[in-house]
Amino acid sequence: MKEAVTIKAIARQLRISPSTVSRALQDNPRISQKTRDAVQELATQLRYTPSQTARNLRSGRTGVFAMVLPEIRESFFSETVNGVEELAFLHHYSVALYQSHDSYEREKQILSRLTRNQVDGVMLSVAKESQQFVHIQDLIDRGVPTVLFDRIAPGINTHQVSCDIEKGAYEATKWLAGRGFRRIALLNGPYQLVASEDRYRGYVKALIDEKLPVENALIKRVDLTTDDTFQKMGQLINLEHRPDAVLTFNDYVALDAMQATRKQGLRVNEEIAFVSFANLPLTAYMDQSPLASVEQHPYQIGHEAVDILLNLMALKEDHTTDPFACVTLEPKLVIR
């Protein structure tokens, strides 16, 4: 196997120092034009390729961004990865992917490893179980550029990218009310997720604006598992005055709730209508899907997260700082 051409090899052939070759390859004006031309011509002839590892060592970088998310199998997060990887690749960055599987302990272990194994930046979507965020603050305090995306950790001051979930819940609930539904329930997510509270606020605001009652009996929290969703949907169905529509945390919860409704002998989207979040592509191929779903733009979220890290890398080179970036994307209610 042919050995890679090095700066030292070019220097030997031209009888100049390796440092001169390095500067000439960077088109440094301190090196004469004649020498620069000679070095660059020989480098082209020998098919010299700069070592990315060497570049990273000189710059103090690794060329790697880490991405920590709950579950890659969820369509929302896999599409976010797509947005991250596309932009990172264009800028010659690799992406190290980690899954917390919604475990607080696993998330802590991952971030602990990342503080030891240097990366240029971290993108994190908080695990469902996480209620304390000392491990995230520790990562930030150690100087690791950190961007939170989608699931944001409350009380942590750092860069973040998310969709306006409160507005999405408001528009979805208003849409149901506009279609004549009067007993609109909410199958929300775990209380510790900021996104759950955002959904609750938007839902309640829409009910108030539509002069509809806010009934605690119509508001349920699920742990995002199928079993719990079946149980909570059953509780709604068994109410003396059951809901005629349900806003769910996401399409996965909606699909489970719809199945629970069918098993109770009720007609989905006729006796009980469903609206959700995420706008999963797979629902377009289903005979029955939620009537509408809030698009949260996962690809763009990933793109924006990388863009923030790239800007931080540029600022680091200039030895300047930047206030925390907070990017909030507009939701879009997709009617099916």
DSSP labels for 174-206?
HHHHHTT--SEEEEE--TTSHHHHHHHHHHHHH
Among 52-61, 288-297, 319-328, the range scoring the smallest mean pLDDT is 52-61
Among 12-16, 75-79, 236-240, the range scoring the smallest mean pLDDT is 12-16
Q: For residues 302 and 87, give the distance between their C-alpha atoms in angstroms, rounded to a whole number.
A: 9
The segment with the largest mean pLDDT, out of 9-13, 169-173, 307-311, is: 169-173
Per-residue pLDDT tens digits for 92-108: 999 999 999 999 999 99
Q: For residues 308 and 49, give the distance between their C-alpha atoms in angstroms, rounded to a whole number.
A: 29
- Cβ atoms of residues 229 and 260 within 8 Å: yes
Nearest to 310 by CA among 330, 296, 325: 325
- Cβ atoms of residues 329 and 189 within 8 Å: no
The confidence score (pLDDT) of residue 1 equals 42
For 309, list phi and psi in degrees, rounded to 5: -65, -40
The confidence score (pLDDT) of residue 287 equals 82
Q: Is 121 helix (H, G, I), strand (E, B) or coil?
A: strand
Instruction: Give the mean model confidence (pLDDT) for residues 27-34.
Output: 85
Estimate the crossing angle of helix 251-263 against helix 226-237, to 10 degrees: 50
Q: Which two tokens stand for residue 25?
A: 């390859």
Q: For residues 307 and 322, give the distance between their C-alpha atoms in angstroms, rounded to a whole number.
A: 14
Nearest to 274 by CA among 254, 260, 294: 254
Instruction: Give the mean model confidence (pLDDT) for residues 232-243.
Output: 98
- Cβ atoms of residues 65 and 94 within 8 Å: yes
Pairing label, strands 292-295, 273-277 = parallel
Q: Is 298 helix (H, G, I), strand (E, B) or coil?
A: helix
Residue 237 has pLDDT above 80, yes or no: yes
Question: Which pLDDT band holds residue 57 (cuts at 50, 70, 90)?
Answer: very low
Instruction: Give the mean model confidence (pLDDT) for residues 109-132.
Output: 94
Q: For residues 322 and 120, give the distance between their C-alpha atoms in angstroms, rounded to a whole number.
A: 16
Strand order in the sheet with 159-163: 94-99, 64-69, 121-124, 146-149, 159-163, 326-329
Q: Which domains does the chain carry?
A: 7-50 (no CATH), 62-157+299-330 (3.40.50.2300), 165-295 (3.40.50.2300)
The confidence score (pLDDT) of residue 53 equals 53
The confidence score (pLDDT) of residue 157 equals 92
Instruction: Give the mean model confidence (pLDDT) for residues 221-245.
Output: 98
Q: Which two tokens stand for residue 207?
A: 């009910």
Q: Where are the alpha helices (DSSP H) in the chain?
A: 7-14, 18-25, 33-45, 52-59, 75-90, 104-116, 134-141, 165-178, 194-209, 226-237, 251-263, 298-317
Tell me the percentage of the chain whose pLDDT exceeds 70. 93
Residue 22 has pLDDT above 60, yes or no: yes
Q: For residues 71 and 55, give the distance between their C-alpha atoms in angstroms, rounded to a whole number.
A: 33
The radius of gyration of the chain's CA atoms, rounded to the nearest angstrom, is: 26
Residue 320 has pLDDT above 80, yes or no: no
